[in-house]
Amino acid sequence: MAGKTSAESMFLRLADALTRSGYSDFFNTLVLELGKILDVEYVLIADTVESPMTARTLALMAHGELLENISYNLKGSPCETVPERDSCAYEGGVAELFPDDHLLTELGVQSYIGMPLLTSDGRKLGILSAMSTDAIQFDELAREVLRIAAAQVGSELERSSQQEQIQALTYRDSLTGLTNRRGLHELLLDHIPATILLADIRRFKTINDVYNSDVGDELLRAVAERMQHYISAETILARLSSDEFAIIPSPADLAEKLTKEQSLSEQAEAYARQIALWFESPVVVDDNEFHLDFTIGCAGQSALTHEHDKQLTGAELLRRASVAVADAKARQQDFAFFNASMMSAMEYRQLLFERFRKALRDEDFQLYFQPVFSLKDRQLVGAEALCRWYDDEFGWISPLDFIAIAETRGLMQNLGDWVVTAACKQLLDWDSSGTPLPGKLAINISNKQIESHDTIQRFERLTEGVDRRRLLLELTETAMMRAPELNLKRIKQLHEASFSWAIDDFGTGYSSLAYLTQLKAAVLKIDRSFVSKIESSQQDETIIQTIIAMAKALQMDVIAEGIESETQLEYLIKSGCHDGQGFLLGRPIPADEFAQIWLSQTSNL
C-alpha cells in the first residue's frame, strides 16, 4: 500500500484530519483522508449499535468522493467478522470469501480491513473499514493509522451520544435511575431537611470483586428498587456513589412509627433499623442470594436550633452525614449519628489549610528534582522540579494533597509563582556553581496558574534572567481538558512567548487528540499508570505504542514516567520511547544532592 508515503507524513495527514473532530464534517473528512493515506478506493464508518445485524454508515467514501449514507446487512459480510477488540484483514479474494455480500462483488472488492469502534470502556459501537479493488497487504503502519483513527471516531461517537444524554445524566444516576449526587445537591438548595441518612452497603467491593461487575450493577439496581418500594412518595432517595445511597425521610415518614418524645437522633436510628429490616430477606441476582448489611450515617438539625438560629444547609448536613458514615465504619458500627467529636476529618482539612497558608507566607516549601534520562544511553537530559512540603506537626504532605488545597482555596497562583521562581533560581545557581543542568528543567503548572489575562507577563517576570528554552512547563492532560478553550489560548500565547510545553500524565483518554496538533506541545509524558502495566496488559502496551507513534508524527518528544523496572525500561526503548524518568533511574532529591549525584557526573564526562 502506501509505500510512496512516508510514515511521518501519513501520521501528519491523519493528525490533521483528526483535528476536525468535534466538527460536523469530521467523519467525512476522515474517510476522504483515510482513502488517500491508505491508497484505497473505499472507506466507511458505520454504526452498529442500534441494530446489531445492520450497519448504518455515518460516512462513506468511494473513489475519492463522498456517497449518500446507506444501511447494509452485516450478515455474511466481512464486517461481521471484525472482532470486539482488534482489527481483521483480508488481503485478497474477499468477494469470493463472502459470496453473500453482493455489494463487495458489485464493487469488485479484493481486500478488506476493518477496525472496531470502541467506547472508552471497550464496548463496540461500530466499524471503520477500508477496501480496495486490488489485493493489498495491510502492513503494521496501515493498521496503526486505522487504530488511531478508530480510537478517535469511537471517542467522538461516545462524546456525541453522551452530549445527548448529558442533560438526563447530569442529575440522574444512569444505573438505577435515581437522583445522583449532583441532583441531590440541586434539590438541597431549596429544601432544607431535618435529617439525612447515608446508607453504605457493607462489603460491596468484595461482592463486586468476587462476582463480575454486571452482578454488582444488578445488585445495585435491586437495592434501589427495594428501597423505592418501602419509602413513601415524599421521601427523597438518591445514589451518591457506587454503593452509597442517601435517604431524606419525609417528616411524616420519619414520625410515622415513632413516638413524639424521641429525639431526632433516636428517630433517625429507628429509621436506620427499618432500612435493615427492608433487607432482612436476601436480594437475589442471577440465582445468587445476597444478604446485605448497611453502614448508616446520619446528621440532623441541632435540637438546640431556635427559630432565629441559622439552620444547617442541606450540603452541610450531607457532609456531616458522610463524616458519620466514616466514623461508623471506623468503629465497625451499624449506625452513627453525627456529633461534634467526629469533626476531626473536617477540622484536619481546615487545620491543614491554615498550616498551608502559613507555609506559603513563610515560603516553607522545598523543590526536589528528579532526573530525566535518554533511555538508551542513560545520559541525563533534564530534570523535573517537584514541590515538597514538610510540616512540623503533620510531617511530609503529598503534593497531590497540598496542591488540591491550593487549587480549591484560591492559593494556587501564589504557590505556583513560588515554584517557578525557585526553579529558575536553582537553574541559575547550578550554572554559577559550574554544574549546569543539561537539557530542560520541567516545572509543573496548574491550570489555575494560567487563567488570568496577565499570565504571559507574569511568566515573563517570574522567569527573568533564564533562557526560556531551558524550561519546560508541564500541564496535565486532565487540567488541560478542564477548560480546553481558555487553556489552548493561553498555551498558544505562552508558546508565542517561547515557552515550551509538556502534556503531563498523558494517555488517560483519546479525547484530547484533536487538541494535540493545536497545542504545540514539545513533549508528551506518558502517564505512569501505563508504564506500570507493561508486561501485564496488552491493551496498555498498545496505548503506549500509539502514543509514541502519534507523538512522533506530530514531532513531539516522549518522556515515559514512573519507570520502576528493567523490563519496563527495555520495553520502552524497544517501542521507540526516547526519554524517561522513574525510581529505577533516579528518585526526586534535593537540589544539593542532585548536583552531587547527577550534575558533577555530567561535568566530569
- Positions in the binding site for ligand C2E (CB under 6 A): 370, 386-387, 398-400, 403, 419, 444-446, 474, 476, 504-505, 528, 561-564, 581-583, 588
CB of 494 to ligand C2E, least distance (A): 15
Question: Which residues contact Mg ion (rule: CB under 5 A)?
Answer: 444, 474, 504-505, 561
Q: Which does 126 bind (CB under 5 to 8 A by kind): Mg ion, ligand C2E, none?
A: none
- Residue 400 site contact among ligand C2E, Mg ion, none (CB < 5 to 8 Å, cut-off depends on kind): ligand C2E
Of the two residues 279 and 499, which places its CB atom closer to ligand C2E in the complex? 499
Minimum distance between the CB of residue 70 and ligand C2E, rounded to whole angstroms?
47
Nearer to ligand C2E, 111 or 444 (CB): 444
Rounded least distance, CB 369 to ligand C2E, Å: 10
What is d(CA 154, CA 126) in angstroms, rounded to the nearest whole number?
Answer: 8
> Residue 240 or residue 559: which is nearer to ligand C2E going by CB?
559
Q: Report d(CA 600, CA 605) in Å as an integer.
A: 9
How many Å apart are CA 129 and CA 149, to the nearest integer?
A: 11
Q: Minimum distance from CB of 400 to ligand C2E (Å)?
A: 5
Q: Work out how close the CB of 377 gets to ligand C2E at its nearest, in angstroms, rounded to a whole number.
A: 19
Please give the full DSSP string across 177-227, using - where no structure is assigned. -SB-HHHHHHHHHS---SEEEEEEETTHHHHHHHS-HHHHHHHHHHHHHHH
In angstroms, the CA 111 to CA 109 distance is 6
For the record, the C-alpha cell of 254 comes out as: 420519619
The answer to whether 107 and 133 are in contact (CB under 8 A) is yes
Closest CA to 252 of 174, 194, 208: 194
* 31 neighbors 66 (Cβ within 8 angstroms): yes
Least gap, CB of 365 to ligand C2E (angstroms): 8
CB of 345 to ligand C2E, least distance (A): 22
Q: Which does 419 bind (CB under 5 to 8 A by kind): Mg ion, ligand C2E, none?
A: ligand C2E
The answer to whether the beta carbons of residues 547 and 577 sit under 8 Å apart is no
Instruction: Look up cell 499570565; give the residue.
Output: 455
Considering CB distances under 5 to 8 angstroms, the limit depending on partner class, which of Mg ion, ligand C2E, none binds residue 403?
Answer: ligand C2E
CB closer to ligand C2E, 543 vs 563: 563
DSSP string, 408-434: HTT-HHHHHHHHHHHHHHHHHHHHHTT
Cβ 403 to ligand C2E, closest distance in Å? 5
Q: Which C-beta is closer to ligand C2E: that of 298 or that of 385?
A: 385
Smaller CB separation from ligand C2E, 458 or 528: 528
112 - beta bridge partners?
90, 131
Residue 399's binding partner out of Mg ion, ligand C2E, none, with CB under 5 to 8 Å set by partner kind? ligand C2E
Nearest to 504 by CA among 536, 527, 487: 527
User: In this complex, which beta carbon is closest to ligand C2E, that of residue 247 or of residue 383?
Assistant: 383
| Cα(349)–Cα(358) distance, integer angstroms | 14
CB nearer Mg ion, residue 47 or residue 505 = 505
Q: Which does 370 bind (CB under 5 to 8 A by kind): Mg ion, ligand C2E, none?
A: ligand C2E
Q: What are phi and psi of 523, to 5 degrees?
A: -140, 145
Tell me which of Mg ion, ligand C2E, none is bound by residue 2, counting a contact when its beta carbon lies within the kind-specific cut-off of 5 to 8 angstroms.
Answer: none
